[in-house]
Structure 1
Amino acid sequence: MGGALFPEEYAHSSSSLPPLVRLEYDDEANIRPNVFKHRTPKQVMFLSIVGGRSHVKPLLEIGQILVDRVSPNANKIIAREHPKIELITIDPIWDETTTIAQNLFLDEYVNFRHWRALFRKTENHYPYAFPILLNATIERQADLLICEMEWMAEICADVAWVLGLPIVLEHYELGAAVNAPYKSDPLYTTNHISGCHVSLENLSFWDRFKCVAILHPLLKLVQYESMFYFNSHRSVHGIEWVWSPMERIKDSLYLANTFFGFEVPEKLSPLVQEIGPIYSEYYEPLTKELKEFLDSHPRTMYIAFGDRFWTTPKNYEKIMQTILEAMNTKLLDGVIWSTSVSYLEGMPGNFTLNDGTVIDTAQIVANKHPHILLQNWVPQFATLNHTNIKLFLTHGGFQSIQESLYHAIPMLVLPLYIDQRGNAERLMLQGCALAVSKLSLSVNDMLSKMRILMTDDQIKSNLLRMQTLARMNGNRKYRAADLIEYVMDHAKLGPNSGRIPTVQEWLTPDRRMGWIKGNNVDIFVVVILVILVDLFGSIWLARRITQFVLNYRIGKGKDVKKTNGNTK
């Protein structure tokens, strides 16, 4: 460790000032102050009840840093997995292959039928997942729980409540923990009522009214309804009820895997920290087949809809027609499509292009087309890193967006579900992407937007700006690990009024003062009362003066008349 004074020749010889002191640094990377000198091995549990790469990968990255800090000689080469992290597998709450899920995928918006279905799935998951996480946490004598903030993190928060453990919340957006009044999300929009967008700044009064006064309260009702279902499960396990969905986690640290620039700016509490975008240290390289294909195709489009999402056979047909037209007109000369061949089985036997050219579909599906490469799995980061990738057709998943921004690749976004419409809007607000609708997908519309994305200089400039922000913020996972360590070491040291220990120095005073004092409501009430008393007093006084003057004038008039009468 460091910590020694500078050599004597650097000391202040002609002054009475003390010599300079060198900061202490970690041994491995001589750039970070060693603020956790007295580390002892600890157990950290984290839970993701939704699963999926975008949900789990950031937690694994942060977890790997925490493991390495107490195991400095461990192997740093991470391939596709994180072998130092023990995995306890439980069934996810949501299976995209079920009939219910597939029917929901066909709607344009996540309407309240969707929300109810998703909440019911989460509630029904509670009796199964809660005892597994509780027993695993007890067996491993965990010191802290990291809860993915999805569907209110009920299971994870209740385990922390029962065991008296501190928790840290993590998610890929800010809206799960805080939301400014000028922000919303299109996922709150229904098929019948529109109005919600990521920013309400440029909307009409009527659209803002529908979102704020109708849709937001309706969603709150669904959340509170779900809370009572959870409370019924809590009763079975002898856990106290909650009276608000955020009651047990409102004072816990929340880490948002995002960054301002992509997110619409807003004020944050010290308990809410933006720590994204989280990137891995190592990524799978290109396969030989992919590299040879990319090297020989200077204008390649990459297509991927994640590992959990899909669209209709008709849309797959339109996408295929679009890429064939784009290559026929020399807009593209190659396409890499990460997809299962089973999704393409419903396509017609051949495609007829605008100039009459006929393309045999069987040749494409069999991967015999010289300019279309179909792959079940593609190392996405390495693919986007190749200089010949000029466009990315994506569903708008958060990890895909992060990786595309890192490489400044323009995106044509086809939102398929949940948060992806909001992600598309955020990108369009920054001038980095264009979007198409899954219910009204058009070949001509896609071709037009692809051409704009590949040729517009302003879009290129916007992408370079966003690339700078993404890369500049790309190492904040180390700060996330620092914050988690601090919570783990210090949350139990301060005074705590609840069962879940919190870091008191990050709580804003209004948490302790209460809503009335914390928002100076009592002062404003007194000021309003004083103004009202003053106003009504002034009105009363003015009326009295007016009445007096009128009476005086009337009286004086009578005296004048009387005097005149006497004179006569």
Structure 2
Amino acid sequence: MKLYSISKPFSAALCAVILLAISVAQAQSTLLELRSTIQDAQRKNIAFFSVIGGTSHYNWVLSIGQELGQRGHTFYFLSADEDAKYGEPFTRVKTVPTGPGTDHKTIDTTALEDPNFTFFQLMKPVLDSTFKNFSKGKYFSNKIDLAICDHIAESCVEAAIASNLPFIVTATADYTKGVYSIHETQCRWVVNRCCVETSAPYVNNDVMSMKNPTTENESIATRFNNMFILPFQGLYHLLPTMRDLIAQKKLLGIDAKLEDPYKKWQHSLKLINNLYGFTAPRPMSPMVEMVGPIIPKKYKPLTPELQEFLDAHTRVAYIAFGQTSVPSTNNIRLLLTAVMNGIERGALDGFLWATVGATMDRFPSEIKTLSGKTYLMQDIFNQVYPNMRMEKWTPQTAVLLHPSTALFVSHGGLGSWYESMYAGKRMIMYPFYGDQPLNANAIESNGLGAIMRPYLSPEQAADLVCTVANSQDIGRNVRRYQALVHLHSDHGIFRGANLVEEVLYTNKDGRLPHRETADKRMSYVKAHNIDLWCLLGLIALLSTTAIGVVLIGMWKLIRKRGLVGQRKIKKN
């Protein structure tokens, strides 16, 4: 009887729970799913073009193109003949060769060892090739709805403007101040609102002076040189080239004048394959979107030979300098000696070098370590030593992801930095030009590795390799950045595709009015409240004047009455 009295309320409660669950399930079954109707809109044709570059210029944009292709859009990759290979892995991208590209495909870094060599000599071939094989109607037909232009591809921007097409500018770094010094000069001395989209007084945006992300640790002498001296040096060195470029534009029927090219971008969206942690935090314009780091999700696997080599070791240094940088013999000797000394000291147990553009005659004939042992380069290339391997090309992502890869020796390209952090590998940087010194300094200051400087002695270089390979602090910092890259790279491609579709479906005569800040439609005086300060100053001036007049009047009245009183006293 007692058991029955206990089970009866329990059964009632159980029935109530079941009935509630059934009613909730029925209610949920009647809910409708919210579905975006934009997916039913007319599909568009998109074209991407870049004058020069490697994976850091192409792959991340093509990854966005692959996603857009999967959504039903047609994505064209307009490439130089020799760069068509970059489009091959992307099955939803239609690669269209446009003819021979620039001859400036690799850079011999031996020239950088000349004390008289300047950055401007490096940039001249790129500028000369900007409008090579250009014609207004060549790039974009009437079927194209949107152009995507690499930040160096001024010809792409001009073609888009000539075709009345909306366009997006892509870059790996947030260059919103001049890439070339002559542009930077105008940006500094002319009030141009497009110059402040991602800039701040403490951020180094000029490719010539941005060896450090910010001016925080720069001396006043360095800051003065970067602010006032370098722009005029750029003007002096690049003015003849810029005049030639203007002449080319005029021959092609393009409106040509000496102006900041970023002025033509001010109403266009800028997509940046970057994120805070890899670039210095600063105020950001609504016309700039950071979507990085975008890392292609598919990569080539290790060859059987490389798989066997890495499996046979536990602490391998991987050495690679990208597609365009060719290290000098002196660079190679210092790096190779340092890594081999690291092997002899036990910090490493092997190395893998992807030579790419560096042929065997670029390497020294022999390497002598601090222990006095000599290694013949011919023997290294012939794989006589089981812990040393030279390869013309390697699948970089697969190598970095292998657990035996302990250290990445790199030139400091942004794409390589992303891949290294994604794989959780510490780095040694040997930067040459462009954004590489900036990236290298950021890597070192954030405790992710160190810079191998060309003036280091063999002992110092060997110590640096061992320190980076064994440092627990560097290991912890790399794991932090690994988490950062994994979290942001998961949705970068999807977000980039969404932004491209935003421009496709919301632009009005090529502009994005919903993203334009109010100051774009206001005078400089009103946008910065200068008129209010002037009005306040005028009110203060008038008030002060009125008060002064009243006080002076009162003083005169008091003085007058005092004089009258004195006269009356004298008369009495």
Say which of 248, 251, 272 aligns to 1:236: 251
Say which of 425, 437, 444 aligns to 2:453: 437
Say which of 46, 49, 53 aligns to 2:48: 46
Cα distance in 1, alignment partners of residues 551 and 284 from structure 2: 50
Task: Give the residue type in structure 1 aligned to 2:305.
Answer: E
Q: Are positions 1:518 and 2:527 aligned together?
A: yes
Q: Are positions 1:81 and 2:85 aligned together?
A: no
CA pair 345-123 structure 1, distance change in 2 beyond 3 A: closer
Cα distance in 1, alignment partners of residues 542 and 360 from structure 2: 75
2:311 paired residue number: 295
Following superposition, the deviation at residue 545 of structure 1 comes to 8.3
For the 8 Å contact 2:101–2:132, the answer to whether it is kept is no
Q: Secondary structure at the match of 2:325?
A: coil
1:146 paired residue number: 148
Q: Are positions 1:114 and 2:115 aligned together?
A: no
Q: Are positions 1:125 and 2:129 aligned together?
A: yes
Task: Give the residue type in structure 1 aligned to 2:355.
Answer: T
Cα distance in 1, alignment partners of residues 532 and 474 from structure 2: 50
Task: Give the residue type in structure 2 aligned to 1:23.
Answer: L
Cα distance in 2, alignment partners of residues 174 and 136 from structure 1: 26
Please, which runs of 5 or more residues in structure 1 have no aligned partner?
A: 1-6, 25-33, 73-77, 190-194
For the 8 Å contact 2:354–2:391, the answer to whether it is kept is yes
Q: Secondary structure at the match of 2:383?
A: coil
Cα distance in 1, alignment partners of residues 372 and 49 from structure 2: 54
Task: Give the residue type in structure 2 aligned to 1:363.
Answer: D
Task: Give the residue type in structure 1 aligned to 2:534.
Answer: V
CA pair 542-459 structure 1, distance change in 2 beyond 3 A: farther
* Count of aligned pairs: 517
| TM-score when normalising by structure 2 | 0.80
1:134 paired residue number: 137
Task: Give the residue type in structure 2 aligned to 1:489.
Answer: Y
Cα distance in 2, alignment partners of residues 432 and 47 from structure 1: 34
Cα distance in 1, alignment partners of residues 445 and 549 from structure 2: 56
For the 8 Å contact 1:413–1:424, the answer to whether it is kept is yes
For the 8 Å contact 2:51–2:130, the answer to whether it is kept is no
Following superposition, the deviation at residue 41 of structure 1 comes to 3.8
CA pair 244-199 structure 1, distance change in 2 beyond 3 A: closer
Q: Are positions 1:63 and 2:83 aligned together?
A: no
Q: Are positions 1:208 and 2:219 aligned together?
A: no
Identical columns (%): 25
1:4 paired residue number: none
Q: Are positions 1:415 and 2:422 aligned together?
A: no
CA pair 388-541 structure 1, distance change in 2 beyond 3 A: farther
Task: Give the residue type in structure 2 aligned to 1:309.
Answer: S
Q: Secondary structure at the match of 1:525?
A: helix
Cα distance in 1, alignment partners of residues 235 and 537 from structure 2: 31
Cα distance in 2, alignment partners of residues 302 and 455 from structure 1: 16
Task: Give the residue type in structure 1 aligned to 2:132.
Answer: Y
CA pair 121-310 structure 1, distance change in 2 beyond 3 A: closer
- Between 1:212-221 and 1:235-244, the stretch displaced more is 212-221
Cα distance in 1, alignment partners of residues 394 and 281 from structure 2: 34
Q: Secondary structure at the match of 1:247?
A: helix
Task: Give the residue type in structure 2 aligned to 1:61.
Answer: S
Cα distance in 1, alignment partners of residues 347 and 380 from structure 2: 19
Superposition CA RMSD, Å:
3.6
Cα distance in 1, alignment partners of residues 380 and 231 from structure 2: 46
Deviations 1:203-255 (CA, angstroms, capped at 9, x unpaired): 34443333334435765787888666544333323333454422221110100
CA pair 372-329 structure 1, distance change in 2 beyond 3 A: same
Following superposition, the deviation at residue 364 of structure 1 comes to 0.8
CA pair 210-532 structure 1, distance change in 2 beyond 3 A: farther
CA pair 401-85 structure 1, distance change in 2 beyond 3 A: same
Say which of 395, 407, 411 aligns to 1:391: 407
Task: Give the residue type in structure 2 aligned to 1:68.
Answer: Q
Please, which runs of 5 or more residues in structure 2 have no aligned partner?
A: 1-21, 75-85, 177-196
CA pair 410-97 structure 1, distance change in 2 beyond 3 A: closer
Task: Give the residue type in structure 1 aligned to 2:281.
Answer: P
Cα distance in 2, alignment partners of residues 294 and 351 from structure 1: 23
Cα distance in 1, alignment partners of residues 105 and 343 from structure 2: 33
* Pairing of 1:192-207 with structure 2 (within 5 A): 197-207=212-222
